[in-house]
Amino acid sequence: MNTDLWGFARVAAAVPHVHLADCAANEKEIAHLYLQAEAAHAQIVCFPELSVTGYTCADLFLNQQLIAASYKAIEGLVTLTHGRAAILVVGAPLYLPEKGQLYDCAYVIHDGHIKGIVPKHALANTRGKQESRWFTSGCYHQADKVMVPIQEGCVVPFGDIVFSTRDFTFAICAGEDADQIIPRSAVAVHCGAEIILNIAAMPEVLGAREHRLSKNCEHSHRLQCAYVYASAGWGESTTDAVYAGDAHICDRGELIASSQAFLMEGQLICQDIHIEALRAKRLQQHHISSPGMDGAYKQVYINNQPHTDGTLLRKINPLPFVPASDKQQQLCEEVFQLQATALAHRWSHTKASTLVIGVSGGLDSTLALLVAALACDKLGRERTDIIAITMPGFGTTGRTYQNALTLMKELGVSMREISIKAAALQHFADIGHDVSVHDVTYENTQARERTQILMDVANQTNGLVVGTGDLSELALGWATYNGDHMSMYGVNADIPKTLVRTLVQYAASKFSQAISTALLDIVTTPVSPELLPADHAGNIAQVTEDIVGPYELHDFFLYYFVNMGFSKAKIQHLAQWAFHNTYPAEVIDKWLTTFMRRFFTQQFKRSCLPDGPRVGTVGLSPRGAWSMPSDAHLW
């Protein structure tokens, strides 16, 4: 598989072993880590602030010998990059004799050339730092280019720059960027930067690393950018300051790589940034680009080559809707509260006397029943105000039937059992349908009969029919039009099947043993509408995932199609990487084709959905979550 098609960029942050004021030794340390990054197929690697000289040189920065030595080290690094693909970003001073000013800079070097120099703006003068004693802020320099005394006639762009490559754009800031009232990175993002490289030298105090990491991740999320941070480490600790070598990489708020603290040798972290996902989210958030800021940064192009070994370092989560284990309890509770609060408000507003819900013993109706019980508790009402109806049909199995009865009994709701068999047989006779022909008419007659019962009981009891269909079924159109497709309030409409299963499994820990046993059995029961007769052993004969495909695949497809706007080819590549140990490529392609076909042909069912609470970032409600013509043809 070729990552060039996937829209990823490989970035690295390096923390070298620094030798204070020994530029030749530092050049070797930087070169060693740069070559490691090059071997790892990184497209860009950044080093900490003033890593060529060492950040804590203090008044030695004013020594001409140190400045000359730093230029010689930069010249060696320029030569090193010749013919190599990785872009090198390294910190070193720049002296402009005509101005008598010294700048704390980031040098951007590629293929034997200095492509640009970015000076530090916000000089630190707190916590023992006296940067303005030696350096001039870059905000005071107006020239677009400067002469660098490294190669004869070496004139390079200088100032605030957004660097564009074939695959991504990036900009550089230095020091405590995210702490500024107007961070340089924010301006750079408004001017088109997708990756922010923060070269820094931050001394450690208790709790500083955790705070810095949290701050930079939040900054990355707010700006919808990648944030690569590299701070000074071993060798910089001197006098009163200790430097831990903090480095981390964040992608749109997610930490994807971090260094070890207080190591005695240099280290490198490397990870893949999902550039195409970043661009997709920015396309949805028009506020990223602000009029009037376009000219704040100069534009410099770097003609880099695609640089990949055909692998992907980034883990692709096969279950994007399911919360990670360490956050599962918190997020499951939040989902239940969102659903139950919304249902409680609708119940209260309509002044309905009851909630009417069909309970099949399957995942969706189980979740809806649990939400209804929680809504009842929120309003201080008796759970007997919930009328739960089980409606056995031709395909109902003993397993689901018994689980439905257990749930209704143990939750203390009003129970009813209304068989649909006689009504369905009468309807077959009325329309002249052969009962032995188990086609779509045979199936949908049962689904519509169940909905009719629920609606009529709601009329009898001044009730509100609670819909049970989930987001995955809506995406596939796996619902009988004017059958289970319709309700008065669909509490599961924003919950994909993989999350439904997780929620029901989580709920098993919150109830009595009898309910818990039933819930855990429901989780392992094959998903089925049970509209076809059971097999000779009384087991479910109609397994949904055998017909339309695995829901874990469809939820993956749904997430990346709706949430990211990715093409079918892009989704296919991601799915092959995420599920490479689970499904062969041809199986993924088969079900992806099924998903795309059904998603587009079934939009008409989503255009007239009943109300339901918005829960996650992906929704298909026509009232703001997802708008699409019913007759589009894109797959």
Q: In whole angstroms, what is the distance from residue 633 CA to residue 464 CA?
A: 37
Cα 477 to Cα 299: distance, rounded to the nearest angstrom:
47
248 shares a domain with 344: no
Q: In this structure, how many other beta carbons lie within 10 angstroms of the beta carbon of residue 152? A: 5
Same domain, 71 and 179: yes
Reference 13, options 32, 33, 31; nearest CA is 33
Domain membership flag for residue 589: no
Q: What is the CATH number of the domain that holds 504?
A: 3.40.50.620
Q: Which residues pair with 164 in a beta bridge?
A: 169, 301
456-486 pLDDT, tens digit each: 999 999 999 999 999 999 999 999 999 999 9
Contact 619, 494 (CB under 8 A): yes
Residue appearing with tokens 């396309």 = 283
Report the alpha-carbon distance of residue 203 to residue 175 in Å, rounded: 11
The kind and range of the H/E element at 258 are strand 254-258
Distances (CA, A) of 6 to 196, 318, 320, 571: 21, 16, 17, 9
Structural domain contains residue 372? yes
pLDDT tens for 304-352 read 876 667 788 999 999 999 999 889 999 999 999 999 999 999 999 999 9
- Say if CB 234 and CB 246 are below 8 A apart: no
Question: CA 575, 577, 582, 588 torsion: positive or negative?
Answer: positive
For residues 482 and 561, the answer to whether their CB atoms sit within 8 Å is no
Residues 284, 425 share a domain: no
Q: What percent of the chain has pLDDT over 70?
A: 96
CB 601 within 8 A of CB 635: no
Is 98 within the bounds of a domain?
yes
The terminus-to-terminus CA distance of the chain in angstroms comes to 22
| Same-domain status, 444 and 337 | yes
| Contact partners, residue 168, CB within 8 Å, separation at least 6 | 9, 43, 194, 195, 273, 275
Provide the edge-to-edge strand list for the sheet that holds 195-200: 254-258, 247-251, 226-231, 195-200, 169-174, 161-164, 298-301
pLDDT at 3: 46
Same domain, 295 and 332: no
| Residues 392, 469: Cα–Cα separation, whole Å | 18
- pLDDT tens digit sequence for 43-79: 999 999 999 999 989 899 999 999 999 999 999 999 9
Rounded to an integer, what distance in angstroms lies between the CA atom of residue 473 and that of residue 626?
Answer: 15
331 and 465 share one domain: yes
Helices within 291-412 (DSSP H only): 328-350, 363-378, 398-411
**Structural domain contains residue 615:** no
pLDDT number for residue 439? 94
What is the mean pLDDT of the segment spanning 526-549? 84
Mean pLDDT, rounded, of the chain: 91
282 and 335 co-located in one domain: no
Bridge partners, 417 (sequence order): 390
Task: Summarize pLDDT for 199-244 with one digit per residue, the tens.
Answer: 998 887 787 788 888 888 999 999 999 999 999 988 887 667 788 8
Return the H-helix or E-strand segment holding 115.
strand 113-119
Does residue 381 share a domain with residue 261? no
Contacts of 624 (CB under 8 A, 6+ apart): none
- Residues 295 and 383 both lie in one domain: no
171: domain CATH number is 3.60.110.10
User: Which of 526, 542, 558 corresponds to the end of one domain?
Assistant: 542
Q: Say if 554 falls within a structural domain.
A: no
Are residues 507 and 360 part of one domain? yes
Phi, psi of 336 (to 5 degrees): -60, -40
In a domain? residue 623: no
Whether 1 shows a pLDDT value over 50: the answer reads no
Given 542, 563, 588, which residue is the final one in a domain? 542
User: Domain boundary at 510, 542, 574, which?
Assistant: 542
Assign residue 356 a region (left: φ > 0; alpha: ψ between -120 and 50; beta: otherwise).
beta
Whether 366 and 455 share a structural domain? yes
Q: How far is CA 325 from the centre of its chain?
A: 16
Whole domain around residue 105: which residue ranges? 9-301
User: Do both 368 and 451 map to the same domain?
Assistant: yes
Domains of the chain: total: 2
Establish how many alpha carbons lie within 13 A of residue 75's alpha carbon, considering only the half-sphere containing its beta carbon.
12
The number of residues in the chain equals: 635
pLDDT above 80 for 178: no
